[in-house]
Structures are given as C-alpha cells and as structure tokens.
Chains A and B, each alone.
Chain A
Amino acid sequence: MNVVVCVKQIPDPAAPQALDPATHTLVREGKLILDDSDAYGVEMGLQLAEQSGGGDVTLVSMAPGGETSGLRTALAMGAAKAILVSDAALKGSDALCTAKVLAKAIERAEPDLVLAATESTDGYTGTMPVQLAELLGMPSVTFAKKVSVASGNVSVERQTEAGYDEVVCPLPAVVTVTAGVVEPRYPSFKGIMAAKSKPIEQLTVSELGLDPAGVGANGASQEVVSVVAADDRKAGEIVVDDGEGYARVVDFLDQLKLI
C-alpha cells in the first residue's frame, strides 16, 4: 500500500511569533521544522505501509522558499521519499489554494491512502485536508484517533462530541489524524544519516500545470484588514499559600455565590 503523508514545515512554535506588518502573513524566518502534528501522520503512515506488507510512504509538502529541514526529519523517521512544491508565487496562499497545489502533487504519487493532521499548528484552519479530498475525488474521514486498513478499506475511530464513531471507508481515501493516534518514533542516528540521501523531488507551480498567477497572495480571495492587540485581562490578586490558601478560594467562591 502506498501512503502519502502531508507534512507542513513551520516556524518553531516555541519561538516568538509575529505577523509581517505589511503583508499580514506569518513571519517565516529561520529554519522551518516539521509540524509536531504531522509527526503522528508520518508514524501512522509508516506503520500502515509496513503492516500492508509493502509499499512506500511518500511525503508531500508545500513551502514557498524551498525549505527541506522539516522533510528531512520525517525522512529520518523512515519515509522513502518526498515531493516538495516550492515557488515564490505560493507566498500568502490560503487553504483552498494549498489544497489545489497539494492535490496536483499527490496525484503523481498515486496513493492508496493520504494522511494529514486534523489541523496544523500555525494556520490551524483545519479545512485543507477535506478540500484536498474533494479535489482528489476521494472520501475522507477526519479526527481519527485510531486507524487500520484491511481488504481495501480503512477503518477509523473518529472523535465525536459524545465519544467516537467507528467509520469504514473504501480506499483510496484521505484520513486526518489527531495527536495521540500513535506514538511517533524518534529518528535514529541511522535514520538521520539515511535521510540525507533520500530523494526530494522539487516542483514549481507551473511544473504542476497550475498558473502561478492564480496561486499565493494573487489567488487569495480574502485579506486581513487590521491587526490590533486584544484588550487583555488584568492579573488579580496573587497569594502565596501558607497552608491557608484554600480559605481564600472559599472566600472567593462565597463572593461569587457559588457555594
């Protein structure tokens, strides 16, 4: 079974984040890393491909500046190869545009299963994978907390408001996984060395047969009007517990008439 895993390369979320004051897009300086949320998809893909007794995991990523550091991490985990769509024209893409670009790239890999995260860490629109599924003409199951494949179907435990649903869907299909679906492995030293020579195919927008004028900020049909600081809550009283701290809580609950 051939699995495509969508992996987004993002600025380190632990570093301070900022929007570019002119373009209102996220400042992407420095090294991009593999989105943590996608480590689950990579691990899931590796396990499913292995269980199916053959087939590869192909990573697909879109990043405007040719970044590959996040892809190398996922290759080090064990993916066989990667397709990177990279083009300056892609800057400022919205989720629909991202889906159109990734769909073209994914079609080349002829996957049986496409995995993505439920939402990315930086943009977290949570719509890209379903848009992708529609463009690929595939069914989709989102919010997977358990995934297995048998006889041409994927079975998913899908999170719901009340608990979970067991959903079955014929392949090829798109599945989005939640954190915790599997425990991602750490790349081994051997994996890291091997990743250096694994193939990353780089493609531009026109090589995918798309019009560069229709993607990125040019193709986006939404814009940011303004960015302002939120009026923040003020800190209240801070008390160091001396054994009687609980009594302050009781007083506070009393004031609120909650007890």
Chain B
Amino acid sequence: MSIEKVWVVAEVNDGVPTTTTLELLTEARSIATTVEAISWGPSTAAAAGVLGEYGASVVHDIGDLGDALPGVPVAAAMAELVASEDVPDVILVPASYDGRDVAGRLSVRLDRSVITNVVGLTADGDEVRSEHGIFGGAQVVTARFTGERPWIFVVRAKSFAAESSGGAPAQVVELARVDAGAVDTARVVSRHVEERSGPKLDEAAVVVSGGRGLGSKDNYAMIEELAKLLGGAPGASRAIVDAGWVPYAYQVGQTGKTVKPTLYMACGISGATQHLVGMKGAKNIIAINKDQDAPIFSVADLGIVGDVLKVLPKLIEALRARS
C-alpha cells in the first residue's frame, strides 16, 4: 500500500500559517500525492490561499475554538474524520505547544503510537522513515512504524525548507467540532504577549546568544546590543533561562528553539549537547569562551579563546563605529 494521503496539522495565527506549518506542507508533497491541512481558529479561510500555495488541496476547518485549548477539540474532530473512513496514511504535527497536545490526544483516540522529535522524513515505497538526532545530534536514528496507519509524526521546526508549489487556494471544508465532554474543559482566561522587538529568534539571519559565562543578568545587555547591531535576534542557553536572566522564549536547544541562521554567535556558552542540537545547523558559528577546551569550539568556524567581558565591549564599539 503506497503512501497516498498526508494530513498536516496546520497552525494559523491571524490568517497566517506558521513557518513550521509551511515546512510540513512542503515535505508532505514529497511523501504523497494528496496533501490536506487540518486547521482551526477564526481566520482559517484567510489562510486557504497560502496553505494551497504550499500544497494543501483541502483545508478541514474546525472553526473558532473560542477560549478552549486546541489539543482536545482538534484531536477529537480529527479522530471523528478518521472514523468516517477518511483515513490518511500519515499525519504530520508540528512540535509546538499545541501540536504536541493534539498529537497526544489523537494518539489515544486512534490507539496509535506517535513518533516524535522527527528532523527528517523519507517515503520509500510503502514505508515512511523518520530521522532523529540523539545524544545532542551526534547520532542519527532512523525509525519507522510497524503497525496500522495512520502514522503520526511530530516534527521539529526547521527540519525542512518551506517552498511554495504555486498551488491553487485550498478548498475550505468545514470539519464539525465534536463534544468531547470532561476532557475538553481547560479554558484560556487571558493571553499575555511579551514584547520583543527585532526579528523572531527562529527566523533571524543572525542569532547572538549568551550563556552563564556572561556572569550576570546585567551583562546580557551586551548580547542584546550586539544582536541589534547585526540586525539579529538575541538568544540564550538554558542555564540563564533557568536562572531567570531572560524569558524561556529566548532559549536555544533541545528544549528550546531550533535555529538555522546564517550566523550564530555563542558568547560564554559551553556547548552542551542539548544546546548544540538547537544551533548546529547554522551556516556559520562564532564562539567566544575563556576555556579553550569548551565543547562549543568543536563546532565553531571561528573560535575566540577569551573573556566575553573584554571581547564583547570592543566588538560592540567597533560595530558602532561602522554603523
């Protein structure tokens, strides 16, 4: 049985599909002939053009979920669609906050396991093989499902490059919301947006990250300034996120963001495997660390063995002078 149909769980904000959604649609096209999106929210119809352009022929629209957390209602509606014999071979879910909720709920409703942390996919005849980086990306594991379809894969951001296929707008088909009862009772009572200026961390061409080697929260200002001078985004190691110097949204690595910028600068970051896995895909890496044996140097194109508190002020001054 070849792979014919793929569903992509498509996250849309204000009528705009997330970058990961477009990455998954692009990859779905190379796996199967029929690609359909599953979406929700007040603005899905506005996204039908872009979803179609990246490969979706149909978008199953669950509609506005109001203040409900999406995990349960989305999974319940999808399970209902599967039960109505519209069975896809593969379901791709972004490894996002809500995506993981959808995958977990759907897994039980369909009684299918989930393969998670996918960073690569290949369709090979009747099979789909997934790739995973383990031990900080030092080894690549290839896995596959042996059981019944649909096969659910949760895919990490930045695993594929999003490319338009120039497709026509997706046909919007209403997908009825199902009453899921007691499990669907979590409600969002307010939303808080933390202001950040400049490009988004996972979309910036330049990422300047700081770690514990900065010594104090105040010194993080140098990272922000440098990022600004280079038109990039500031990032962080988990050590300083846990220490409360910067919000979690800044974290790069296994449990944070995966970034693939043109340039990644690691300042006072040791290069633990869990950090490397989130930034090793950068085209160029500069590391500044006072310990010449720091593991970060093993992936750096340019390594400066030195004190960040001495190197960064001079660098900032030099860049200011040129801008």
| Known A167-B188, A169-B187: A222·B143 in contact at CB below 8 Å | yes
Contact call A232/B113, Cβ cutoff below 8 A: no
Contacts of B298 in A (CB 8 A): 232-233, 235
Given contacts A127-B114, A139-B72, A222-B113, is CB(A249)–CB(B304) below 8 Å? yes
Q: Are A227 and B139 in contact (CB under 8 A)?
A: yes
Query: A22 an interface residue at 8 Å Cβ cutoff?
Result: no
Give a binary string over A200-225; 1 marks a CB under 8 Å from any B CB, 0 the rest.
Answer: 00000000000000000000111111
Partner of A124, one of B188, B192, B255, B299: B255
Roughly how many angstroms separate A95 CA and B205 CA in the complex, as a whole number?
A: 36
* Bound-complex Cα distance A188 to B92 (A): 46
Q: Is the CB of B311 within 8 A of A24?
A: no
Contact A142 B141 (CB under 8 A): no
Query: What residues of B have a CB within 8 angstroms of the CB of A250 in the complex?
Result: 315, 318-319
Cα(A95)–Cα(B285), bound, Å:
35
B302, A236: Cβ atoms under 8 Å?
yes
Q: Would B185 and A246 count as touching, CB distance under 8 A?
A: no
Considering only residues 38-67 of chain A, those with a C-beta below 8 Å from chain B are none
- Chain A residue contacts of B300, Cβ below 8 A: 235-236, 238
Cβ 8 A contact of B139, one of A129, A230, A233: A230
Which residue, B97, B139, B186, B315, has most C-beta atoms of chain A within 10 A? B186
The distance in angstroms between the C-alpha atoms of A158 and B53, with both chains bound, is 33
Is A179 in the interface zone, CB < 8 Å from B?
A: yes
**Is residue B174 contacting chain A, with contact meaning CB distance below 8 A?**
no
Binds A, one of B102-110, B165-173, B214-222: B102-110
Contact status B244-A167, CB under 8 Å: no
B198 to chain A, nearest CB (A): 15
With A138-B182, A163-B193 known as contacts, the answer to whether A125 contacts B141 (CB < 8 A) is: no
Are B182 and A159 neighbours in the complex by a CB distance under 8 Å?
A: no
Would you call A230 and B138 a contact (CB within 8 A)?
A: yes
Nearest opposing residue in chain A for B323, CB measure: A259
Please name all residues of chain A whose beta carbon is closer than 8 Å to the beta carbon of B182 when the two chains form the complex.
137-139
Cβ contacts under 8 Å, A166 to chain B: 188-192
Q: Report how many residues on chain B are interfacial, defined by Cβ distance under 8 Å.
A: 91
Q: With the chains together, A169 CA to B101 CA distance in Å?
A: 15
**Interface code A105-132, partner B: CB below 8 Å = 1, 0 otherwise?**
0000000000000110000111111110
Within 8 A of B (CB), among A221-259: 221-230, 232-233, 235-241, 243, 245-250, 252-253, 256, 258-259
Q: Is the C-beta of B2 less than 8 angstroms from some C-beta in chain A?
A: no
A145 with B138, Cβ < 8 A, contacts A239-B305, A250-B315 known = no
Mostly, the A contact residues are mixed
Q: Tell me which residues across on chain B come within 8 A of A137, comparing CB atoms.
A: 182-183
**A223, B146: Cβ atoms closer than 8 Å:** yes
Stretch at the interface among B28-36, B54-62, B80-88, B128-136: B128-136
| Closest partner residue, chain A, to B116 (CB atom) | A125
Other-chain contact of B186, A95, A141, A161, A179 (Cβ < 8 Å): A141
Supposing A161-B249, A259-B319 touch, asked if A126 and B116 sit within 8 A by C-beta, the answer is yes
Give the distance in Å from the alpha carbon of A137 to the alpha carbon of B105 in the complex. Answer: 11
Bound Cα distance A182, B306 (Å): 35
Min CB distance B14 to A, Å, is: 11
Closest to B257 in A: A161
Chain B residues, Cβ within 8 Å of A150: none
Q: With a CB–CB cut-off of 8 A, which chain B residues contact A161?
A: 96-97, 249
- A140: CB under 8 A from chain B? yes
Q: Min CB distance, B267 to chain A, in Å?
A: 10
Establish whether residues A221 and B148, one from each chain, have CB atoms under 8 Å apart when the complex forms: yes
Taking a contact as CB atoms under 8 Å apart, the answer to whether B194 and A221 are in contact is: no
What 8 A-B pairs are tightest by C-beta distance, nearest first? A241-B306, A130-B104, A221-B147, A236-B301, A134-B108, A163-B194, A169-B186, A246-B314
Q: List 12 A-B contacts (CB under 8 A).
A: A96-B108, A126-B116, A127-B114, A133-B183, A139-B185, A161-B249, A162-B194, A166-B189, A225-B129, A233-B285, A241-B304, A246-B318
Known A-B contacts: A96-B112, A131-B104, A162-B191. Give 7 more (CB < 8 A).
A124-B117, A127-B104, A161-B97, A168-B189, A180-B242, A237-B303, A250-B318
